[in-house]
Structure 1
Amino acid sequence: MENILGYYLMPHPPIVIPDIGKGEEKKIESTSLACNKIGKEIADLKPETIVIITPHAAMFSDAIAISDEERIAGDLSQFRCTNIKMDLQIDRKFNIELGTACHLEGIPSVLVNSELLNKYEVNYELDHGTIVPLYFVNKYYNDYKVVHITYSMIGDINLYKFGIEIKQVAEKLDRKIVIIASGDLSHKLKEEGPYSYSPYGEKFDRELLKNIEKGDVNATFNMNKNMISEAGQCGLNSVYILLGAMEGKEIKGELLSYEGTFGVGYGVMKLERHGKDKNYLEELIKHKEEQFNTKINNSNLYVKLARENLNYYFSHGKRIADISYLPEELLKERHGVFVSLKKHGHLRGCIGTIMPTTANVGEEIIRNSIEAAIHDPRFPKVSEEELADIDISVDVLMDAEPCKKEELDPKKYGVIVSSGMRRGLLLPDLEGVDFIEEQLQIACDKGNIDYDGHYNIERFEVVRYKEE
């Protein structure tokens, strides 16, 4: 008999709770009915432990967080609701086994408690990403312990492997559990939603739910990166872990409800393992390797030089010296260059020069690629092991020109603000920077310049080269 009794995807909109919605919850009645259905089903299953994965508790960028005290409590007071409270017992034996398994498998995870989180000025508590789904469970059943997990940006394969470890620990302990992946889908379905509208929002929701319904794990893990980034969602990483816990068999999903009434996608789904044995992990790793090799082989000259230089640096402890083999455009032209490193879609390092500081663009790329990896003060040094997970982009800056505020366009132009010896720069077309005011504010903050004071403004265009 299976130790994992049920697999569920549930959203976490506080407004679905009548004490918070105050009538507005009726606009997402299908979501409420579907969540109640899951609550009743879990009551019938009577699990000993509920494993819940959330995006909204204390999150570390480099390790999955597993809450690890005897109990964990929280409420919804941040949503002006003080009477919805939870105080849950934690399955610490499960935690210890899971933490040990992750350590042995090299999956970054950490057991967290109040003492640790206090060092980061973060509270040890239940979050709404946990409380809202469990609200629908506790109406019908509360004789369970909890394993409270906050996912991390450690990459989809690692998250999938973490899910596999959950499954194996449940089997080792002979623990009857259910798993809830808590996550909302796109937050960009409507102009009046919490974020600005994006056509990618609805496309992401439709594609993700279709993939899960069909049990197409490979398609779920290989959705368009730009679409995922633009969708503004918080559920995909929870899904990766959920699917990992289902490794070994074919998968199918039953969509119980989907609504986007408030500009956010709320998907409620029940998943099941069935049919033939299936090794998805092997397929995912193979496809990931193929993608990486394709990316490297198809890279343009600029990002290829940056990657070759980083590989050389980690192999030889120094930069590439002989660049005479490079094409003329990299040897003759002189421009400022920024090199940006992203890991799993998140910035890992970015260093650049506004004006050229070396003999040519090639030298500039070589210099700044190492600076971005080793000397960006915002991040620890990049390790050689990380290079396979890093995407590189190179921005070549054209000459800056003075301009007025209204002549800026954050998508087309970068901006330089200066006041005396202080200077701040922001590249163009950055995620989340959509308005001139935002662009100027960030540039001023970087240069320690008073946004409301007097400063000079220059704009510049860039030629951006990316690994695709």
Structure 2
Amino acid sequence: MNPFVFSCITSHGTEIIPELQGQSPERMSLTRRNMTEIGLEMEKAKPDAIIVLTPHGTRIAGQFSITDSENMEGTIEENDIVFTLKRRVDRELARKIAEHANELELPVGLINYATASGPYSSLSMDWGVMVPLRFMPNVPIVVINPTRELSYEKHLEFGKAVRNAVLTSNKKIGLVASCDWSHTHNENGPYGYHPAAQTLDEQVLQIVKQNQLEKLQGFDEEFVEAAKPDGIWQALILAGAIPEEERHIKLRSYEAPTYFGLLCASIY
């Protein structure tokens, strides 16, 4: 049985946030519209907490990092507009995930900042978390950052630890895999152009449509480096947490209006 009340794969381009769309609201309008629908689905599921998998949070070399602060807060500035967000952290759930990861002998670090507890215990919230949470209900969160020093297989195993923690919890939990895809679609982007971007994203689309997320671990290292996706690791954790036979994916949209690919999917 799928242990999550609702799960999804979302994008995290900052202009998806309605407040930050600026003078070109059409640029990410397809993704923005589907993120809104996904947020409504999460709201309907009424989670007690939401786990967010992000590639842009606090990284620990060779370890999965899990937030264990009282709060998280962040700021994004885009198109001369400032957007801020603050959420409580479900520390009980965070520590339960770490315990189950330790049982599977996976390297994991619980991270905090400044003080052990209280208002000063607050970690920075990255855009990979802030963008999807803008559309989600205001409930406590746990943020997890994968580590690219470990194999794809370890990310699937870590997903099992997340699953086990949720199964032993008495709470209703939602799961968000915050994933953007290839970052070399446009020569004017920060990583330049490479034809691998379109090829990889087309393959990802087929993998999502066919509900075969485990196939993401089959991508060649040089191919990944050329295309520069940042979604593989979070999607594999989700795949480990929700096995294929329990996972039903509804692909909502894909677009690449700038230099990186944006994909939205609901998972039931």
User: Structures share a fold, TM > 0.5?
Assistant: yes
Q: Structure 1 residue 268: deviation in Å?
A: 0.7
Residue 152 of structure 1 corresponds to 147
Q: Is the 8 A contact 2:53 2:143 kept in 1?
A: yes
Q: Structure 1 residue 7: deviation in Å?
A: 1.8
Q: Structure 1 residue 89: deviation in Å?
A: 1.1
Amino acid at match of 1:168: N
Q: Is the 8 A contact 2:20 2:78 kept in 1?
A: no
Residue 67 of structure 1 corresponds to 67
Number of residue pairs matched by the alignment: 261
State the SS of the aligned residue for 1:240.
Answer: helix
CA–CA separation in structure 2 for the residues paired with 1:79 and 1:156: 36
Q: Is the 8 A contact 1:3 1:174 kept in 2?
A: no
State the SS of the aligned residue for 1:25.
Answer: coil
Residue 204 of structure 1 corresponds to 200
CA–CA separation in structure 2 for the residues paired with 1:135 and 1:179: 15
Q: Structure 1 residue 250: deviation in Å?
A: 5.0
Q: Is the 8 A contact 2:2 2:246 kept in 1?
A: no
Q: For each residue in 1:2-22, what CA deviation from the matched residue of structure 2 results, as whole angstroms up to 9, or x when unmatched?
A: 530122111101122243331
The yes-or-no answer on 1:270 pairing with 2:266 is yes
Q: For each residue in 1:186-243, what CA deviation from the matched residue of structure 2 results, as whole angstroms up to 9, or x when unmatched?
A: 1111222332111100111110121122122442221233221111111111111111
CA–CA separation in structure 2 for the residues paired with 1:21 and 1:235: 23
Q: Is the 8 A contact 2:64 2:109 kept in 1?
A: yes
The yes-or-no answer on 1:221 pairing with 2:217 is yes
State the SS of the aligned residue for 1:26.
Answer: coil
The yes-or-no answer on 1:98 pairing with 2:93 is no
State the SS of the aligned residue for 2:226.
Answer: helix
- Name the structure, 1 or 2, with higher relative contact order (CA <8 Å, separation 6+): 2
State the SS of the aligned residue for 1:157.
Answer: helix
The yes-or-no answer on 1:193 pairing with 2:189 is yes
Q: For each residue in 1:296-320, what CA deviation from the matched residue of structure 2 results, as whole angstroms up to 9, or x when unmatched?
A: xxxxxxxxxxxxxxxxxxxxxxxxx
Q: Structure 1 residue 131: deviation in Å?
A: 0.3
Q: Is the 8 A contact 1:160 1:240 kept in 2?
A: yes
Q: For each residue in 1:395-424, what CA deviation from the matched residue of structure 2 results, as whole angstroms up to 9, or x when unmatched?
A: xxxxxxxxxxxxxxxxxxxxxxxxxxxxxx
CA–CA separation in structure 2 for the residues paired with 1:104 and 1:221: 23
Q: Is the 8 A contact 2:60 2:109 kept in 1?
A: no
Structure with max Cα Rg: 1
CA–CA separation in structure 2 for the residues paired with 1:86 and 1:53: 17
Deviating 4+ runs (over 3 angstroms): 77-81
Moved more, 72-81 or 14-23: 72-81
TM-score norm. by structure 2 comes to 0.91
TM alignment of 1:109-188, pairs within 5 A:
109-115=108-114, 124-137=123-136, 141-142=137-138, 144-153=139-148, 154-188=150-184
Q: For each residue in 1:242-262, what CA deviation from the matched residue of structure 2 results, as whole angstroms up to 9, or x when unmatched?
A: 111112625342211111111
Q: For each residue in 1:310-360, what CA deviation from the matched residue of structure 2 results, as whole angstroms up to 9, or x when unmatched?
A: xxxxxxxxxxxxxxxxxxxxxxxxxxxxxxxxxxxxxxxxxxxxxxxxxxx
TM alignment of 1:236-275, pairs within 5 A:
236-247=232-243, 249-272=245-268
CA–CA separation in structure 2 for the residues paired with 1:96 and 1:18: 33
CA–CA separation in structure 2 for the residues paired with 1:218 and 1:73: 32
Change (3 A) 1:73 1:151: same
Amino acid at match of 2:27: K
Q: Is the 8 A contact 1:214 1:251 kept in 2?
A: no
Q: 1:231 aligns with which of 227, 230, 239?
A: 227
The yes-or-no answer on 1:16 pairing with 2:13 is no
Unaligned runs of 5+ in 2: 116-121
The yes-or-no answer on 1:35 pairing with 2:30 is no
Q: For each residue in 1:156-205, what CA deviation from the matched residue of structure 2 results, as whole angstroms up to 9, or x when unmatched?
A: 11111111111111110122111101121011112223321111001111
Amino acid at match of 1:19: E
Unaligned runs of 5+ in 1: 117-122, 273-468
Q: Is the 8 A contact 1:214 1:252 kept in 2?
A: no
Q: Is the 8 A contact 1:185 1:233 kept in 2?
A: yes
Q: For each residue in 1:128-178, what CA deviation from the matched residue of structure 2 results, as whole angstroms up to 9, or x when unmatched?
A: 1100111111xxx32x21011111122211111111111111110122111
Q: Is the 8 A contact 1:91 1:145 kept in 2?
A: yes
CA–CA separation in structure 2 for the residues paired with 1:51 and 1:228: 26
Q: Is the 8 A contact 1:164 1:245 kept in 2?
A: yes
TM-score norm. by structure 1 comes to 0.53
Residue 50 of structure 1 corresponds to 50
Q: Is the 8 A contact 1:215 1:250 kept in 2?
A: no
| Identity fraction in percent | 23
Root-mean-square deviation (Å) = 1.9
